[in-house]
Amino acid sequence: MKIIVCAKQVPDTNEVKLDPKTGTLIREGIPSIINPDDRNALEEALRIKDKFENENERVEVVVLTMGPPQADVALREALAMGADRAILLCDRKFAGSDTWATAHAIAWTIDKIGGYDLVFCGRQAIDGDTAQVGPQVAEYLNLPQVTYVRRLDIERDGGTVTVERALEDGYEVIETRLPCLLTAVKELNVPRYPSMRGIFDAYGEKQVEVWSADDVGIDPSVIGLKASPTNVRRVFTPEPRGKGIMLEGSGKEAVQNLFAQLREKRIV
Ligand SMILES: Cc1cc2nc3c(=O)[nH]c(=O)nc-3n(C[C@H](O)[C@H](O)[C@H](O)COP(=O)(O)OP(=O)(O)OC[C@H]3O[C@@H](n4cnc5c(N)ncnc54)[C@H](O)[C@@H]3O)c2cc1C
């Protein structure tokens, strides 16, 4: 069995700050991490590996990142957690790619890796935040997809997977055939920490394979700025809201005060 996990390296912040002049992310001084949802996807792949290898079926977990050379660190961490193989898709030809072109590049690479049963993405990256890449990759690869996966169970003999898909006020149970693409949410599991042995291996015997667009054989017309139909017109930080009002006095006085103010504003 082969599971491919798409993991993006992102700045370690939920409050991405923007340069108001250039409209680009301010990355200086912010350490990079594996995108949190992708860490859940990786953890689930490793749990499937643990389970099936206990039953004597070999499972290969391959982690794939498209990013700059610095993303090597994120891939080493994935190897230290227990991934078998790490691939860094890295080429200046990808510069300026929007989600459409990024998904195209990732889909071609998954196709090149081949022989997979499951492709796992995170629901959403905490910097770009679009949640588009997973579903787009599934469309390119013509795979069934289930997003927002919070629980899963693989039925190996039947070649199917049954998942719980998180909804705002509950969940739905969906069964689909393998191969398929799933996107993980944080409720799926608690990711493990790399072991000391894992860290040694990740910087020793295990390697990060660096692939260029030519290595994969990607059609140059589907990647980079020219192949990106998204046009970002304006990027801005929302204006901070006004200061809150502290209501003083006892609980009863504060409630009376609150109602008086709400009545004054004709809210009640
Ligand atoms: C017009 C435009 C130009 C851009 N130019 C650049 C640029 O020059 N340089 C640049 O770095 N970014 C650029 N970006 C941003 C880049 O397109 C996005 O970072 C990328 O497409 C991922 O989108 P997202 O962050 O919204 O991920 P989401 O769609 O929210 O991610 C969902 C999941 O997809 C997977 N995934 C997403 N991205 C990757 C990845 N890179 N590797 C592996 N798995 C991944 C992960 O599993 C992730 O959890 C540009 C965006 C636009 C719109």
- In DSSP notation, 130-145 reads ---HHHHHHHHHT--E
pLDDT at 14: 64
Per the CB < 8 A criterion, the answer to whether 92 and 210 are in contact is no
- First and final C-alpha spacing in the chain: 61
| Alpha-carbon distance values, 125 to 67, 139, 268 (Å) | 13, 19, 41
- pLDDT beneath 50, residues of the chain: none
Per the CB < 8 A criterion, the answer to whether 174 and 146 are in contact is yes
pLDDT at 28: 74
Of all protein residues, whose CA lies closest to atom 38 belonging to ligand 1? 8
Q: Does the CB atom of residue 44 touch ligand 1 within 6 A?
A: no
pLDDT at 248: 87
pTM: 0.88
The architecture (CATH level 2) of 2-227 comes to 3-Layer(aba) Sandwich (3.40)
Q: Does the CB atom of residue 46 touch ligand 1 within 6 A?
A: no
pLDDT at 194: 96
pLDDT at 23: 66
Domain regions of the chain by residue span: 2-227
pLDDT at 206: 95
pLDDT at 235: 76
Q: Does the CB atom of residue 96 touch ligand 1 within 6 A?
A: yes
Q: Does the CB atom of residue 207 touch ligand 1 within 6 A?
A: no
pLDDT tens-digit map of 181-212: 999 999 999 999 999 999 999 999 999 999 99
